[in-house]
Amino acid sequence: MPTTHATADRSAVRTLLRLWPYVRPVRARLCTAAVVAVVASCTGLVIPLVLKWLVDGPVAHRDPAGVWRGALYLLLLGIAEAVLFGVRRWLVARPLSHVEAEMRAGLYRRLQRLPVAFHDRWASGQLLSRGTTDLMLLRMFLAFPLTFLLVNGVTILVGVVIMLVQDWLLGLVILGPAVPVMWTCAVFERRYAQVARRAQDQVGDLTTVVEESVLGIRVVKGFGRHRSQARAFRELAGRLRGTELRKARLLATIWGVIVALPEVAIGAALVLGAVRVADGELSAGTLVAFLGTALALRWPVDSIGFLLAMSQEAATATERYFEVTDEAPEGERTVSGAGDGPRTGTGTGDRPGTGAGSGAGVVTGSGIRFEGVRFRYPDAPPGSPPLLDRVDLHIRSGESMALVGATGSGKTTLTALVPRLYEVTAGRITLNGVDITDMPREELRSRVAVAFEEPTLFSASVGENVLMGAPDGAGKPELDRAIAIARADFAYTLPQGTDTRVGEQGLSLSGGQRQRLALARAVVGRPEFLVLDDPLSALDVHTEAAVEAALRRVLADTTALIVAHRPSTVLLADRVALLSGGRIAAVGTHRQLLRDNAEYAHLMSGEREDHR
């Protein structure tokens, strides 16, 4: 996961303003709700004025009818305030749900478009927490603090004006704590922002641990590692608890200051006001109205602390959200390696059978062609040698090429470059003479099908998993054909046949069954180009032989690149390429390489080689 961004110099207001594009479509209802809330809050400030009239009028003159009329006024004002606040809540509920849904959908769309290199760097729990906890914090901010920071500010301003108009001396007493309260808020905001960011990052770390423990429950149980996993969880949970307690202490401090100082000021105003009433300098009704207004302002003042806290958490959530959405999606970045030059249009003088410096889109031969391909992972240390260095390889149209190499030689990485799961650092790859970077990704991936050694199945039915590799509109005939090719007939014996849900990650199936379904997914769309990453590694000998027989028919109609470790898989291909030292060291038939290349003969000697 990327390093946590510093928050010390971050402006919460500037960060929260980035939410405006999402809020703009519902701004009319939110503004209406804010106006209604201001009216409701100011309605509460009218109540002390009615009390002043009641005390100085009907009560002082012993007028029962006037007292009842005043009580009716107070009741109506209370009802009006409650109704207005209810209307405000009704106004914001639907639009804020819409904002949250749009932001969540936008985050999901961006995650789908971000390159594989991004997902390699980020822990899944961090991404999950941004799509759940952080968006919940943003919805709460838009529903409450965003409105009430404005509403309470207006209410405090109107209330102070009312108090100063009633008696300026008592008003100055009430305003006494304003300066220390504002200074405390400024200090609190800076410190709370740092702690809030730390807490939300720790929630992401904790989410990652929980997710990994659930997905890897078989490993945890199989090796009896539940205690060590529990210790890791407790350690992270304890760290998060400490951070949350730090937040609570900061909030308690500011709340104590914000509550205590105004209370002291109200007490001082009460004593001074009572003395002045006793001296005849102030009417009892005015003192009652003044104190009533001061007490009505307690909630707007007291709420400043947690409103600021919620705003800081929302600013941090906004920051974390845009850390993901600001990442450039596929097709919007220029990838280059140190000293490699631009990725496309690169000329190499040692490309056999190609024109050096040929431009993108110029036909240089049918099939799949790697021309001077160089690749270094984006997060590799500067100056480190590339994993793949000036790879030149031509797979002719209709030909099957097996790719063989030692552990860590880059076989899987090379196959991932064809559908542009990673971008080449230099050089280019062409399909039938067209540079893959000149094709829209949707078109490229409709022409190239991929099956990985570690198959991924989704929480869907068997049929839905297989038909993910087919164009829209494909149905049962295509599904049955793919299942037959992959020898995945076990799917028909499941409880609901091909409609059976396989569960998360397909863990209810064996490794061989998952691999056969992944192979069926790769061939169901009758792809023009097929990339198979050791597709038979999890199959038993008899199933492997049956799948190989079916695959030969498929490979006869397509251009294929197959990562292979076993001679049986190599024999599926027309020719073999040996990847060594980041380059293609030899190309030939299986028999030729066995006879002429010692490294290849060693790899095919029966020792199982894994790959990256």
Q: What is the mean pLDDT of residues 318-333?
A: 80
Task: Give yes or no for residue 549 having a pLDDT over 70.
Answer: yes
Residues with Cβ within 8 Å of residue 34, at least 6 apart in sequence: 88, 147, 150, 151
| Gap between the Cα atoms of 583 and 403, Å rounded | 12
CB count in 10 Å sphere of residue 225:
15
pLDDT, one tens digit per residue, over 218-238 is 667 676 777 778 888 888 889
Phi, psi of 54 (to 5 degrees): -65, -45
Instruction: Report residue 331's pLDDT band, with 50, 70 and 90 as the boundaries.
Output: low
Amino acid at site 455: P
Q: What is the pLDDT of residue 429?
A: 92
Q: Which two tokens stand for residue 240?
A: 């998060």
| Gap between the Cα atoms of 27 and 389, Å rounded | 54
Q: What is the mean pLDDT of residues 578-583?
A: 89
Instruction: Report residue 552's pLDDT band, with 50, 70 and 90 as the boundaries.
Output: confident
Q: Which of 132-141, 332-341, 480-489, 562-571 has the lowest mean pLDDT?
A: 332-341
Secondary structure of 368-437 as H, E, C letters: EEEEEEEECCCCCCCCCCCCEEEEEEEECCCCEEEEEECCCCCHHHHHHHCCCCCCCCEEEEEECCEEHH
Q: Which of 124-128, 444-448, 544-548 has the lowest mean pLDDT?
A: 544-548
Instruction: Report residue 10's pLDDT band, with 50, 70 and 90 as the boundaries.
Output: low
Residue 322's H or E segment, with its range, is helix 304-325
List C-alpha distances in Å: 66 to 48, 285, 470. Answer: 16, 15, 82
CB–CB of 448/418 below 8 Å?
A: yes
| Gap between the Cα atoms of 518 and 358, Å rounded | 37
> Which is nearest to 78 in space by CA: 100, 116, 48?
48
| Gap between the Cα atoms of 584 and 575, Å rounded | 13
Instruction: Report residue 505's pLDDT band, with 50, 70 and 90 as the boundaries.
Output: low
Q: What is the pLDDT of residue 357?
A: 34
What is the number of alpha carbons within 13 Å of residue 523 lying toward its C-beta? 28
Q: What is the mean pLDDT of residues 452-460?
A: 78
Phi, psi of 583 (to 5 degrees): -130, 165
Residue 5, classed as helix, strand or coil, is coil
Average pLDDT, the chain: 81
Q: What is the pLDDT of residue 297?
A: 84
- For the residues of 70-102, what is the DSSP string, one character each? HHHHHHHHHHHHHHHHHHHHHHHHHHHHHHHHH
Instruction: Report residue 3's pLDDT band, with 50, 70 and 90 as the boundaries.
Output: very low
Q: What is the mean pLDDT of residues 353-368?
A: 47
Q: What is the mean pLDDT of residues 121-139?
A: 85
Task: Give yes or no for residue 577 having a pLDDT over 60.
Answer: yes
pTM, to two decimals: 0.70
339 or 274, which is more confident: 274
The structure tokens 């952080």 sit at 134
Q: What is the pLDDT of residue 343?
A: 43
- Domains of the chain, by residue range, sit at 12-200+244-325, 368-603
- Per DSSP bridges, beta strands 559-563 and 529-533 are parallel
CB count in 10 Å sphere of residue 253:
15
pLDDT, one tens digit per residue, over 234-278 is 888 898 899 989 888 888 888 788 888 888 888 888 888 888 888
> Which is nearest to 476 in space by CA: 462, 486, 490?
462
CB–CB of 512/537 below 8 Å?
A: no
Instruction: Report residue 365's pLDDT band, with 50, 70 and 90 as the boundaries.
Output: low
Residue 245's Cβ-count burial label (10 Å; 0-12, 13-18, 19+) is exposed
pLDDT, one tens digit per residue, over 148-167 is 888 888 888 888 888 888 88
198 or 362, which is more confident: 198
Q: What is the mean pLDDT of residues 339-361?
A: 37
For the segment(s) 368-603, the CATH number from 3.40.50.300, 3.30.390.50, 3.30.2130.30, 3.90.1150.10 is 3.40.50.300
pLDDT, one tens digit per residue, over 43-76 is 888 888 888 888 878 777 787 888 888 888 888 8
What whole-number percentage of the chain has pLDDT above 70?
88
Instruction: Reply yes or no on domain 12-200+244-325 having CATH 1.20.1560.10.
Output: yes
